[in-house]
Structure 1
Amino acid sequence: MNKLAQTIAAGAAAAASIVSAAGADTWRFNNFLPETRPETAELEKFAADVNETLGEEQIKIYSGGSLGLPNTDTLRFLPKGAVEMSLMWANYLGRDAPALSSVVVQGTIGSIEEFEKAIPTVRKIYEEEFADWGVSSVGYAAIPMLSVSVFCRDEPVNTLEALKSKKLRVWARDQVETFTRLGVAAQIIPQEEMYVAMKTGVVDCALYPALYAHTVSLQEVASHASFLYPMASGPYVIGVATDKWEATDAATKAAITEAADALWERTNQYEDDFQRELAAREELAEAGITWAEDFPQEDRDTFVAAVTETWAMLAEEAGGNAPAYRERVLTALGR
């Protein structure tokens, strides 16, 4: 049995072991985000809305990887029926669907105004791409406009030159490519492994949004932080295997669609993001993190230039629909 089959089998076994408690007809919703993330609360509200409309527990959410299904394998296990529903994020799926990695490369869109122009096009691209994998996009949850900072264990780092002497944790390939262009050693470490990696010195610093740092207890293993760049990301997608969705009765489809529309309306709001960022920094400072000066504007401009080169490179490398996807987003942005 190969690794993929083992992964799916293990996840299916874990999911099956809890079906009896949830009910045989209940849809298991695989949510890779921790229970402490605000998006998880929104997904719980989505499930509660569906269940209330139908008058029964149709959807039950399992968060934080509790079903043992890696988020990078979603396009493999979801169509095979390991779970009925799953959260998906395009930036985690580039191994299997390379074109997804070039739709929105983090760091290329630096303002809310620009991002709002791009969102309808991004959603349409996701719908098309996931359909090719036998997955229907039945809902979306917006990701806040985040401010990404460099968190370090032992000393403050707030220049690209200083960062070159550190080992940096990132979460996506486009970041690895970008920092490599800048002469920085970066490696992908899943967020569930980041705490130990920082604590044991596997990495010296970690790229992470201050807004979510407390959800992974980053303040316990980092002592310094500095803001580097604003980040707009494509939305999370709620996926269902297309054959499963097509076989679903009209009442359940309507309940899910209505709840998903409400989820999007609640999360597709960006006006308060920066104020929440500042509040998060204050809380982290109270927990012991010292905030250094932001990376200088010259470094931030250098970073954006490197990201732009990475975006073009990834689209060209992925081939297929990737260059066209990038052009569609650029057109939506008016560039």
Structure 2
Amino acid sequence: MKTSLHATALALAAGTALAGPALAETWRFNNFLPETRPESAQIEQFAEDVNTALADRDFEIEVYHGGSLGLPNTDLLRVVPTGAVEMSLMWANYLGRDAPALGSVFVQGAISTVDELLKVLPVAQEIYEEEYDEWGITTVGFVAIPTLSVSVFCRDEPVNTLEQLRDVKLRVWAREQVETFTNLGVAAQIIPQEETYVALRTGVVDCALYPALYASTISLQEVTEHAAFLYPMASAPYTIGVPDELWESTDPEIKSAITEAADALWERTNQYDADLENEMAAREALAEQGITWHDDFPEEDRALFIDAVSETWQMLAEEAGGNALDYRERVLTALGR
């Protein structure tokens, strides 16, 4: 018996030696944004903060940018809970197919000032945590988006009135924008940001709705020549989600490091003082690369756009039903409307 036990012990020891030291636990972070986006740099800093805090725990977060893991934005509510990825950036405006109520929280263009945004953010974060929890996803943090100036970038001819916009095919990124522009008589279609460059080059669309601040991250200056400002936009924050089962089984020390880094990430990004300055610098840089900036859309056109946005917001909430009406009411209450 002793010989047998001894032999077994030697075999186990040999197996351990051959296997070598235990590999570090790695969490893949799915970031659908281009690596060149400012938010991506902030996410990298978040991962570095976690990895530094847990350097002696053989744990690390590895960030995959630009959808390189092959997970479509619109499928994340289905994919993340399965554990196909350990951590993912999520944006409610991309998820309306599976969770229509999310589209009634922030409708593009309905909130346009920093003061309004700051009133709404705590309510929106609370709603997102509730909604994602219903899908088996734990919210571990948020990434704020700057207040943006959304412009119309066109390939061949300048467009800076609604009348002109009705004669072109327009790229947008969310369903509420399709509904709003359709209400205004404009042919709009959703094209993911990673496909926008090719869609413009090949003529699938003539113009693209896009913030100047981020236009160079998808090289719009290479496929468009004209741009004009249409409307200001405050956006819903991005959410960082982890599958419930994974989060519940995660060591408390790792959880603490992640939440602390996420708090620091939110503190860094939830700042808006430099937004206008950054916008003008982006426009100047684009002009140096060949974009001609034309007069802004006239005030009367922008007023028509805002009216259409309000109608879209109400329509989407009523269509979604259920929690959507409550979400919209909570946001309106926070705005004092």
Q: Shorter-chain TM-score category?
A: over 0.9
Query: In the alignment, what sits opposite 1:51?
Result: 51
Give the superposed CA RMSD.
0.7
| Aligned ranges 1:1-335 → 2 under 5 Å | 25-55=25-55, 56-335=58-337
- Unpaired runs of at least 5, structure 1: 1-22
Over the matched positions of the two proteins, sequence identity in percent amounts to 72
Aligned residues: 313
Check the 8 A contact 2:151/2:231 in 1, yes or no: yes
Amino acid paired to 2:215 = A
Aligned to 1:79, the other structure's residue is in SS state helix
TM-score using structure 2 length: 0.92
Amino acid paired to 1:212 = Y
What are the superposed Cα offsets for residues 169-188 of structure 1, whole Å, 9 maximum, x if unpaired? 00000000000000000000
Check the 8 A contact 2:146/2:272 in 1, yes or no: yes
For residues 72 and 249 of structure 1, the distance between their equivalents in structure 2, rounded to whole angstroms, comes to 30
Aligned to 1:69, the other structure's residue is in SS state coil
1:57, CA displacement in angstroms? 4.4
What are the superposed Cα offsets for residues 165-204 of structure 1, whole Å, 9 maximum, x if unpaired? 0000000000000000000000000011100100111100
For residues 130 and 65 of structure 1, the distance between their equivalents in structure 2, rounded to whole angstroms, comes to 20
For residues 271 and 24 of structure 1, the distance between their equivalents in structure 2, rounded to whole angstroms, comes to 40
Aligned to 2:239, the other structure's residue is in SS state strand
1:243, CA displacement in angstroms? 1.2
Aligned to 1:60, the other structure's residue is in SS state strand
Larger Rg: 2
Runs (4+) of structure 1 moved beyond 4 Å? Answer: none
For residues 123 and 238 of structure 2, the distance between their equivalents in structure 1, rounded to whole angstroms, comes to 14
Aligned to 2:75, the other structure's residue is in SS state helix
1:24, CA displacement in angstroms? 6.0
For residues 209 and 235 of structure 1, the distance between their equivalents in structure 2, rounded to whole angstroms, comes to 16
For residues 145 and 80 of structure 1, the distance between their equivalents in structure 2, rounded to whole angstroms, comes to 33
Amino acid paired to 1:144 = P
Amino acid paired to 1:102 = S
TM-score using structure 1 length: 0.93
Check the 8 A contact 2:36/2:217 in 1, yes or no: yes
For residues 39 and 189 of structure 2, the distance between their equivalents in structure 1, rounded to whole angstroms, comes to 26
